[in-house]
């Protein structure tokens, strides 16, 4: 297992791909029954009359599944302190029973915090099916810890006037 | 039960409040174990050393819970055809065991589609705790059906030149 990276180790453009997981009709229906009941997510027969022509996963399901896969491969697992937001989320194509989802994650922004022990990270998630079709994309902002043994930051004793 | 509204019945500024639901430590830990394992969501002891000082719900948990509550009270239940996106999501404060969440939903945008049977709706969600503190806010875009028996739309036979 790769050790988690600190904020200081990250660079814009770094990217990684998660492993995959297959959506079953059972998982789609159970998620819908718990969190997002819509006939086209829960009722295979009624779904045929919907805009989708058949059962499709809740967009919330593909979203949380994307994070679940992200956690498997995350380069900041253990150093990520908190999520702060999501921007520009688009559900572009529905996910159907039997589809296998995986996520390509790219670091798109890095900004040190005013607090010396952390920084703000922006990552783009692109969730695709087994054919490479883009189902879902969004950007996540989060707070990642800085290396407590790393280079001194501005304002540290090393740089104070003597 | 109020009958669902069509796109044509909606107006910018319409608002409603969902009923509430209480987050338990059991629900927080189970959600984290399934979708978003972080020590501060799943391990009550380790959570004391985290940024939060104790167990807090995954932001994905409070997000899907907001949608679950929305579905209880939605004025477009049955006429909503699909979700298309989320914008400007901010997790502002953590939700802790024992907190009761409810959501205030406001229609912030309406745009007819180029297809005569549907329109685009934007709704702002504000999820608060029992003290009225804002935990989470975001905007959702979705597609809602137009009334098939409603006023004729531009291009219909009634308005064609005779």
* A85 at B interface, C-beta within 8 A: yes
Q: What whole-number distance in Å separates Cα of residue A68 and Cα of residue A102?
A: 10
Say yes or no for a CB contact (<8 Å) between A82 and B91: yes
Q: What are the per-10-residue average pLDDT scores of chain B (162 residues)?
A: 84 97 98 96 95 96 98 88 96 98 98 96 98 98 91 44 38
Distance of CA B2 to the CA centre of its chain: 19
| Mean pLDDT across A51-79 | 94
Say yes or no for a CB contact (<8 Å) between B51 and A90: no
Output the pLDDT for position B151.
Answer: 59
Q: What whole-number distance in Å separates Cα of residue A80 and Cα of residue A136?
A: 23
* B90 at A interface, C-beta within 8 A: yes
Assembly ipTM: 0.89
Q: What is the pLDDT of residues A6-29, one digit of tens each?
A: 999 999 999 999 999 999 999 999
Closest CA in chain B for residue A137: B85
| Mean pLDDT across A89-98 | 98
Pick the residue of B27, B51, B94, B137 with the most A CBs within 10 A to test the interface with A by mutation: B51
Say which of A34, A60, A84 has its CB closest to residue B91. Answer: A84
Min Cα distance B137 → chain A (Å) is: 9
Using a CB-CB cut-off of 8 Å, the residues of chain B touching A64 are 35-36, 60, 64
Say yes or no for a CB contact (<8 Å) between B35 and A68: yes
Say yes or no for a CB contact (<8 Å) between B35 and A89: no
Q: Does domain A7-23+58-148 have CATH number 3.20.80.10?
A: no
Residue labelled with tokens 């988690």: A4
Q: Which of A35, A59, A40 is nearest to B79 (CA)?
A: A40
H/E stretch holding A68 reads helix A59-73
Output the pLDDT for position A36.
Answer: 96
Say which of A36, A60, A83 has its CB closest to residue B59. Answer: A83
Q: What are phi and psi of B117, to 5 degrees?
A: -100, 5
The burial of A103, by beta-carbon neighbours within 10 Å (0-12 exposed, 13-18 middle, 19 or more buried), is given as: buried
> pLDDT category, A157, cuts 50, 70, 90?
very low
Closest CA in chain B for residue A60: B64
Radius of gyration, CA atoms only, chain A = 20
Say which of B64, B71, B87 has its CB closest to residue A87. Answer: B87
Architecture of domain B7-23+57-147: Roll (3.10)
Full DSSP string of B64-90: HHHHHHHHHH-TTTTTEEEEEEEEEEE
Distance of CA B9 to the CA centre of its chain: 19
Say which of A50, A60, A91 has its CB closest to residue B64. Answer: A60
Q: What whole-number distance in Å separates Cα of residue A32 and Cα of residue A97?
A: 13
Closest CA in chain A for residue B142: A91
Output the pLDDT for position A65.
Answer: 98
Closest CA in chain A for residue B137: A85
Using a CB-CB cut-off of 8 Å, the residues of chain B touching A49 are none
Say yes or no for a CB contact (<8 Å) between A38 and B87: no
Say yes or no for a CB contact (<8 Å) between B84 and A90: yes
The burial of B14, by beta-carbon neighbours within 10 Å (0-12 exposed, 13-18 middle, 19 or more buried), is given as: middle
Output the pLDDT for position B2.
Answer: 65
Full DSSP string of chain B: -PPPPPGGG--TT-EEE---EEPPHHHHHHHHHHH---HHHH-TTGGGGSTTSS----HHHHHHHHHHHHHHH-TTTTTEEEEEEEEEEEE-S---TT-EEEEEEEEEEEEE-SSTTEEEEEEEEEEE-TT--EEEEEEEEEEEEPPTTSSPPTTSGGGS--
| Interior angle at CA B43, CA B38 and CA B46, nearest 5 | 95
Q: What is the pLDDT of residues A27-54, one digit of tens each?
A: 999 999 999 999 999 999 999 998 899 9
Say yes or no for a CB contact (<8 Å) between B89 and A85: yes
């Amino acid at each position: 297992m790769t050790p988690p990276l600190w904020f200081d180790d990250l660079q814009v453009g770094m990217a990684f791909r998660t492993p995959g997981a297959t959506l079953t009709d059972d998982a789609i229906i159970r998620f819908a029954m718990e969190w997002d009941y819509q006939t086209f997510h829960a009722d295979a027969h009624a779904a045929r009359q919907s805009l989708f022509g058949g059962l499709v996963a809740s967009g919330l399901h593909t979203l949380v599944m994307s994070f679940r896969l992200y956690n498997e491969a995350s380069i900041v697992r253990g150093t990520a302190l908190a999520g702060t937001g999501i921007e520009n989320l688009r559900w572009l194509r529905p996910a159907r029973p039997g589809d296998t989802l995986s996520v390509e994650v790219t670091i798109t922004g890095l900004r040190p915090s005013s607090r010396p022990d952390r920084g703000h990270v922006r990552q783009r998630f692109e969730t695709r099916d087994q054919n490479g079709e883009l189902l879902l994309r969004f950007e996540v902002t989060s707070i990642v810890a800085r290396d407590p043994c790393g280079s001194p930051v501005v304002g540290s004793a090393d740089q104070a006037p003597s």
